[in-house]
Amino acid sequence: MSQALTEQRKSTPARTNQLERGTPMTDLDQFEQRMQQFLDQTFGSLAPAALGGVVPHVDIEEQDDAYVLEAELPGVKREDVRIEQVGNELMISGEFKERERKGIVRRQSRQTGRFDYRVALPESIESEKIEAKLKDGVLTLRVPKSTKAQRRKIEIES
């Protein structure tokens, strides 16, 4: 029994010295990887890719005459985005591509991979008049409401 304790004590300082030799960034990255492995083993993988890809941040604003969707798509080219409408569902898909790098990546937190975004719109829209613009990494979709669904002010008679 004392022999096992002696061996354990001998291996512990060596392990501590191994960690001390790394840079703070390396140690932090290793810690982050170990924590992610622990969480994946405990709760299963909850990464966006496991749930169907990366999901872009999207704001939806209702105006008097239209719905305006703004999706953040930094670094995505116009030809790499696909927009479809089926019935009252609007689908935006594409890919965040990893850019080519010359140096060593020390930290990477930007998401890469395929993205898909779906939203159900009211049926009272003018689907043939939907406009899409991609400028400065923001995709803006303007979905006009049908004339019968537009808000109008009703005057009260005296």
Q: pLDDT 10s digit of each residue in the chain, 158 long?
A: 444 443 344 434 444 444 445 566 677 777 777 777 776 666 554 444 444 467 889 999 999 889 999 999 998 999 999 999 988 889 999 988 887 888 887 787 777 888 889 998 887 888 889 999 999 999 999 999 887 766 778 888 87
Look up the pTM and report it: 0.60
3-state secondary structure of 151: coil
Note the pLDDT of residue 68.
95
Q: Which residue has the tokens 């890719």?
A: 49
Note the pLDDT of residue 25.
66
Of 76, 63, 57, nearest in space to 134 by CA? 76
Rounded Cα–Cα distance for residues 50 and 45 (Å):
7
Contact present, 54 and 93 (Cβ < 8 Å)? no
Note the pLDDT of residue 79.
92
Note the pLDDT of residue 22.
59
Note the pLDDT of residue 49.
43
Note the pLDDT of residue 157.
87
